[in-house]
């Protein structure tokens, strides 16, 4: 009985490590694809004109991103793993196109600096989420409600165009995504522990959803931090 307990416990640790490794691998793949996508857009006059010559195109990209996130998150259990991976890659490409509009505003040096600040912050909070013994479930619920409020504020400020409101949105956004990074990491870890002995395809599906969640945490943290560390190209 005791030896069985330890074997199950060790299996859970193995599954968790496999899952987390896969999550971070796919997250990094997503970031790399987005970076390449943004780079190609920025250095192509045709793409720049096609995507940003029309003021409504940015809304089309945003709606496409939202649709892909919903499709992956809600339909993950009904699709095969290859379809989930293709959708994640497609999302990363579209998100890179959207990021190009933001990256055009800031200097390359400040973008690199902000990226490393975001990466360091993300890494610390992800480690905290993995190692902490505290249950972050209640924090996750609070952050989710706060995120909804943040999105509403961003939509309103799109029309108001208030620099003061934008500053507060970024400040609150940093806090939200720092917290979500820890929460999502702990949630993925717990899923790995619960899935001990499950088939590999189930782990692969969770890995894609987990990678998407952490990707969104990182990208949004990066965007919010640009408000404080990004230096405008406009002179």
Residue 15 pLDDT: 73
- How far is it, in rounded angstroms, from Cα 142 to Cα 145? 5
The predicted pLDDT at position 196 comes to: 61
Average pLDDT per run of 10 along the chain, which is 235 residues long?
A: 38 73 96 96 90 84 94 89 95 95 88 95 96 93 94 91 93 97 94 72 88 97 94 73
Domain for residue 123, yes or no?
Answer: yes
Per the structure block, which two tokens stand in for 103? 């990256």
Compute the distance between CA of residue 69 and CA of residue 74 in angstroms, rounded to an integer. Answer: 8
Report whether 142 contacts 178 (CB < 8 A). Answer: no
**Spatial distance between the Cα atoms of 128 and 183, rounded to a whole number of angstroms:** 9
Of 221, 203, 231, 213, nearest to 72 by C-alpha is: 213
Among candidate residues 9, 4, 31, 30, the one with its CA nearest the CA of residue 192: 9
Supply the Cα-derived Rg of the chain in whole angstroms.
19
DSSP string for residues in 162-200: -HHHHHHHHHHHHHHHHHHHHHHHHHHHHHHHHTTT--H
**Structural domain boundaries, residue 207:** 2-229
Residue 235, in any domain of the structure: no
Is residue 47 a part of any domain in this protein?
yes
In a domain, 77, yes or no: yes
Number of domains in the chain: 1
| 35 found inside a domain | yes
Does 57 reside within a domain? yes
CA distance 91 to 69: 8
Residue 188 lies in a domain: yes
**Is 17 inside a domain boundary?**
yes
What tokens appear for 128 in the block? 């905290």
């Amino acid at each position: 009985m005791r030896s069985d307990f330890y074997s199950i416990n060790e299996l859970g640790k193995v599954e968790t490590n496999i899952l987390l490794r896969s999550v971070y691998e796919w997250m990094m793949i997503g970031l790399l694809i987005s970076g390449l996508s943004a780079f190609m857009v920025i250095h192509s006059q045709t793409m720049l004109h096609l995507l940003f010559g029309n003021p409504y195109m940015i809304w089309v990209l945003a709606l496409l991103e939202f649709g892909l996130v919903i499709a992956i998150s809600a339909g993950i259990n009904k699709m095969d793993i290859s379809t989930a991976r293709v959708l994640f890659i497609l999302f990363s490409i579209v998100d890179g196109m959207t990021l190009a509009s933001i990256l055009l505003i800031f200097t390359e040096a400040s973008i690199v600096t902000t990226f490393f600040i975001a990466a360091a912050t993300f890494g610390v909070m992800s480690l905290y989420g993995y190692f902490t013994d505290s249950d972050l479930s209640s924090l996750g619920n609070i952050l989710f409600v706060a995120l909804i409020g943040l999105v509403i504020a961003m939509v309103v400020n799109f029309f108001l165009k208030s620099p003061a409101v934008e500053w507060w949105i970024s400040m609150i956004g940093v806090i939200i995504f720092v917290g979500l990074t820890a929460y999502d990491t702990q949630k993925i870890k717990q899923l790995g522990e619960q899935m001990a002995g499950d088939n590999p395809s189930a782990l692969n599906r969770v890995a894609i959803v987990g990678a998407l969640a952490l990707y969104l945490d990182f990208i949004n943290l990066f965007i919010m931090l640009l408000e404080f560390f990004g230096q405008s190209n406009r002179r």
